[in-house]
Amino acid sequence: MITADDLDDFAHRDWQHVEAGEGPVRIAVVGLGWWTRDRAIPAIDSSELCETTVAVSSSTEKAEDAADGHPTIEHGLTYEDFHDGTGADAYDGVYIATPNAVHPQYAETAATLDKAILCEKPMADSVERAEGMVEATRETTLMIAYRMHTEPAVRRMRELVQEGFVGEVVEIRGRMSQRLLEMFSDPDQWRLDPDLSGYGTSVMDLGIYPLNTARFVLDSDPVRAQASMSSVSEEFNEVPDERASFLVEFPENVVASCAASQNAHKGDRFTVIGTEGELSMRDGFHSSDRRKLELARGGIRTAIDVEPVDQMTEEFDYFADRVLRGERPHPDGEHGLVDMRALRAIYEAAERDEPVAIEA
């Protein structure tokens, strides 16, 4: 039966090896959009192993505004200051949360300054730029910010799959959607601008969740993609994928059927179906307070209301744990690059209207 330990250990940080209080790893946050201000900085404030000491943005005012009144932020820098190495003694790592296309330039500067790097996903706007970034950051720690890797529901799913809970995996289903224009009404926002976002918007920003989570849970990399995309609203006319449905083939005859839309009712689900059972996470990608893990095997079903950890706190502490131990994080640059190649193949499949192999 389910034991007390099963529930007690559900959200246990099985990945943490460094004691709370070691460090801290001092972080420069690069890019001060809503995500950094509302999610990342508060998450670091709650973390055991990190603190924010530097804020970097387009203007001194914006950066100093973030620093102002914050207990640990010592410097507000412009991007130019950052590239010049100003205040580099004040931080050990950088968190990059700028538009996709400019991730690499901050990562490259950080590498030059010998700083560890936590970069938002997707790691860049194109495969080529991501390859350059991997090359330029070889001498430092580069982690791509896949917060599902430290989400307890996903880690437990992964363990259950590895232990044979679902039998042989048959298929994966995953989707994520939101109303981007209700979150940010500006039609000129970077996520709708291919020069800043990359191949598109919905798959780059949301479809990457089921794609990468499938890779993580299967511990396997995808080999081929098929896709159908369309943009129907005027605000989406620069990108091909207001709506996207795509099939990603993995080795051993497992296909992940995914969908993503930046203009659909907010929701997400990720399901692994095997010969003997099924696991399904609801609302994990959106880190909703209602997230749930559903388990089924034979005629029996159960559901676990997952303790809503702060996914960003978990992610920052995982990053810091790896930095403090000098160990490579699981979602490193090479890992992120596989997603970039899969993303390119998905967009190409839709564009060329045929299945496209994912470069290994």
Residues that bind a copy of itself (CB under 8 A): 166-167, 170-171, 173, 175, 177, 179, 226, 228, 230, 232, 243, 245-247, 249, 252-253, 255, 257-259, 261, 263-265, 267, 273-278, 296-297, 353-355
CB of 358 to a copy of itself, least distance (A): 13
Q: What residues have CB less than 8 Å from 173, skipping those under 6 apart?
A: 210, 256, 257, 258, 269, 270, 271, 273
Q: How far is the CB of 169 from a copy of itself (least distance, A)?
A: 9
| Nearest distance in Å: CB 274, a copy of itself | 6
Choose between 48 and 268: whose C-beta lies nearer to a copy of itself.
268
List the alpha helices (DSSP H) in 173-310: 180-183, 194-197, 202, 208-218
**CA 100 → CA 11, 136, 357, distances in Å?**
31, 17, 24
CB of residue 173 to a copy of itself, shortest distance in Å? 6
Tell me which DSSP letter residue 343 carries.
Answer: H
| DSSP-assigned states of every residue in 282-314 | ESTTTT-TT-EEEEEETTEEEEEE-----HHHH
Q: Which is closer to a copy of itself, CB of 100 or CB of 213? A: 213
Residue 309: other Cβ atoms inside 10 A: 18
Closest among 278, 258, 172, 165 to 216, alpha carbons compared = 172
Minimum distance between the CB of residue 1 and a copy of itself, rounded to whole angstroms?
A: 21
Q: Which is nearer to a copy of itself, 17 or 179 (CB)?
A: 179
* Tokens found for residue 167: 């039998």
Tracing tokens 């190409």 back to the chain, one arrives at 348
Specify the residue, 4 or 232, whose C-beta has the smaller distance to a copy of itself: 232
Rounded distance between C-alpha atoms, residue 99 and residue 122, angstroms = 10
Q: Which is nearer to a copy of itself, 76 or 210 (CB)?
A: 210
Nearest distance, CB of residue 250 and a copy of itself, angstroms: 10
Instruction: Identify which of residues 334 and 353 has a Cβ nearer to a copy of itself in the complex.
Output: 353
